[in-house]
């Protein structure tokens, strides 16, 4: 097992006039477990991950593995890594088997070890039956799964998955969550997503990222703590709902089948779930927050 440490990492793209600070002075430590990196488009997730895997050099700051700068560790560090890039490219004409064999050769795995490992991995990601099919015939979800398999070839101690669930259907999401949960037992798994439910059940630590910084990190309970008393439910007529929806962060909105009595005969009612520090409506009642509410709260 290893410990990964980021110390005041900053990444600035471009030069003075067009400079873009994508990651700002981030400090974090990672030991074994699943870390869910949650953030909207452009928050800096990919930039951070590319620095962790060593493709991108931080403008400032240091990344160490067991106390040694990763630049200094070179190949030793790369052997510890498994990486699924967000824009994972693949060889359309290759079969799944051929692709994994090719990736194993690139990672300089012993061919005999690779053979067993590939069979095991095909089973893990549920692609054994599709092993001889060309990748160009694969669905988006199958491609993500083969991407996860290639990241696992060298039994990495640090697994970095950038939006691994993009394009997965609900059944595949469940399968994916189970795979990741098991992997986090004895390694560092960092996965990025903007889909809260992907990390809700499996992440030991959640890191909410916004404009290049962590706005909150911790266990799910720690993330939820400041949000207690800031989530409200109310049932209101359609017009009021539209007004509240425009004025507040609404985490859920549901048209009710039962019609209200007091606000005119047959006026349709809407149930709103609102994230707000103040009570948004006289009839609103406080409810327990869930991670989805917390995500909205930190983005208020």
Q: Taking the CB of residue 298, how many other CB atoms lie within 10 A of it?
A: 19
If you write DSSP's letter for every residue of 183-228 in order, what string do you get?
Answer: HTTSSEEEEEES-HHHHHTT-SEEEEEETTEEEEEE-HHHHHGGGT
Q: Which two tokens stand for residue 242?
A: 């539209």
177 makes contact, choosing from ligand ATP, Mg ion, none, with CB < 5 to 8 Å by partner type, with none
Q: Which residues of 202-219 are buried (b: 16+ CB within 10 A; e: fewer)?
A: bbbbbbbbbebebbbeee
Task: Select from 42, 140, 229, 283 the one that contacts ligand ATP (CB under 6 A).
Answer: 42
Q: Which is nearer to ligand ATP, 73 or 166 (CB)?
A: 166
Which is nearest to 284 in space by CA: 294, 274, 292, 293? 274
Q: Residue 237 Cβ, how far from Mg ion at the closest point, in Å?
A: 41
Of 38-46, 104-112, 131-139, 249-257, the segment contacting Mg ion by CB under 5 A is 38-46
The yes or no reply on residue 53 touching ligand ATP (CB under 6 A) is: no
By beta-carbon proximity to ligand ATP, the closer residue of 44 and 141 is: 44
Contact status: 14 vs ligand ATP (CB under 6 A):
yes
Among 9, 38, 43, 130, binds ligand ATP (CB under 6 A): 43
Question: Closest Cα partner for 59 from 8, 96, 97?
Answer: 8
Q: Which does 132 bind (CB under 5 to 8 A by kind): Mg ion, ligand ATP, none?
A: none
Give the residues lining the site for ligand ATP (CB under 6 A): 13-14, 20, 22, 39, 41-47, 86, 194
């Amino acid at each position: 097992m290893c410990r990964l440490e980021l110390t005041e990492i900053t990444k600035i793209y471009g030069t003075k006039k067009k400079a873009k600070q994508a990651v700002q002075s981030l400090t974090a430590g990672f030991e074994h477990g699943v870390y869910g990196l949650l953030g909207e488009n452009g928050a800096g997730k990919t930039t951070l991950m590319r620095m962790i895997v060593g493709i991108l050099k931080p403008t400032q700051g240091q990344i160490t593995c067991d106390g040694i700068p990763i630049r200094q560790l070179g190949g030793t560090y790369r052997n510890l890594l498994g990486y699924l890039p967000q824009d994972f490219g693949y060889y359309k004409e290759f079969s799944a088997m051929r692709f994994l064999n090719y990736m194993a050769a690139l990672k300089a795995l012993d061919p005999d070890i690779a053979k067993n490992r590939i069979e095991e991995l095909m089973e893990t990601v549920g692609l054994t039956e599709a092993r001889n099919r060309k990748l160009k015939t694969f669905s988006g979800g199958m491609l993500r799964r083969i991407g996860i398999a290639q990241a696992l070839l060298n039994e990495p101690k640090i697994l970095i998955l950038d939006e691994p669930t993009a394009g997965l259907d609900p059944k595949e999401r469940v399968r994916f969550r189970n795979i990741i949960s098991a992997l986090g037992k004895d390694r560092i798994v960092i996965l990025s997503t903007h889909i809260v439910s992907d990390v809700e059940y499996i992440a030991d630590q959640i890191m909410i990222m916004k404009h290049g910084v962590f706005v909150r990190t911790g266990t799910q309970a720690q993330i939820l703590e400041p949000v207690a008393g800031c989530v409200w439910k109310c049932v209101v007529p359609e017009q009021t709902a539209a007004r509240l929806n425009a004025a507040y962060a609404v985490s859920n909105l549901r048209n009710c089948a039962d019609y209200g009595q007091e606000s005119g005969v047959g006026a349709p009612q809407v149930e709103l779930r609102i994230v707000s520090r103040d009570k948004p409506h006289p009839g609103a009642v406080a409810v327990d927050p869930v991670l989805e509410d917390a995500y909205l709260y930190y983005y208020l």
